[in-house]
Amino acid sequence: MSITKEQTSNQQIKWFDSFTKVMLSVMFVLLLFIFGAGKYMASHNMEAGGTDDLVNNLATKVTKGEHHPFAELPGDAQVGAFSVANFFAGLIVGHHWEKLFGRPKNEEQSLEVE
């Protein structure tokens, strides 16, 4: 059976495939957990600070000196830095994931034709 290029490209754009569904489900579960935990901690007046900071502060009490990260990012700048870094990290992982774990083209085509 022969198919046109247009038909093939239409068939191949299956954006809500099983991989996307699984990834979205995992993401929602993680986000729900984070929101749930955040809500609980807020209601119990917990700081929700990082343990790295906690231990670094503990160590500073011993050294009686100043500790500081190499780059200090105030307020929302840290959210911005994390977003940019994770966006591009996601692109790189996705790019290599497709190369390594994606279905081979001939297998994909035969599935589409069937």
Binding site for another protein (CB under 8 A): 33-34, 36-38, 40-41, 44, 46-52, 54-56, 58-60, 62-63, 65-73, 78, 81-82, 85-86, 89-90, 92-93, 96-97, 99-104, 107
CB of 88 to another protein, least distance (A): 9
Nearer to another protein, 5 or 69 (CB): 69
Tokens found for residue 44: 């119990």
Least separation in angstroms between CB 25 and another protein: 13
Q: How many CB atoms lie within 10 A of CB 53?
A: 12
- 57 Cβ neighbours under 8 A, 6+ residues apart: 67
Report the distance separating Cα 80 and Cα 91, nearest Å: 17
